[in-house]
Amino acid sequence: MLRLFVAGATTRSHQAVRRVRVLCETILKDRVKLEVIDIYQQPALARANQIVATPTLIIVLPLPLRRFIGNLTDITELFSLLDLGVKNKIIL
């Protein structure tokens, strides 16, 4: 399970959502559930998850819980966090 925290309907938020969805639909082949949370619409979830910057991608499962904070342009680091063993650099 992945949780992506974004801040409103900004260009940066839209890009982060698009990048993670592409990752889920292509490489992960819909093997994970993606939950997109707007911190303005659901501030309680942002507080509960200790979100201090957006976009923040939280990898809930498999444990341990991991966080990826930033613009999400370098998907290679995401692959390493997800233990997918990608050897080549991937940028969306």
Predicted confidence (pLDDT) per residue in 15-33, tens digit: 999 988 888 887 777 678 8
Alpha-carbon distance of 36 to 73, in angstroms, equals 17
69 strand-pairing partners: 56
Please list the ranges in the chain whose pLDDT falls under 50: 85-92
pLDDT at 33: 87
Question: What domains, with CATH codes, occur in the chain?
Answer: 2-81 (3.40.30.10)
Say how far residue 41 (Cα) sits from the centre of its chain: 18
pLDDT at 25: 82
Q: pTM of this prediction?
A: 0.80
Q: Give the residue ranges of DSSP H helices in 1-92.
A: 11-22, 43-48, 75-81
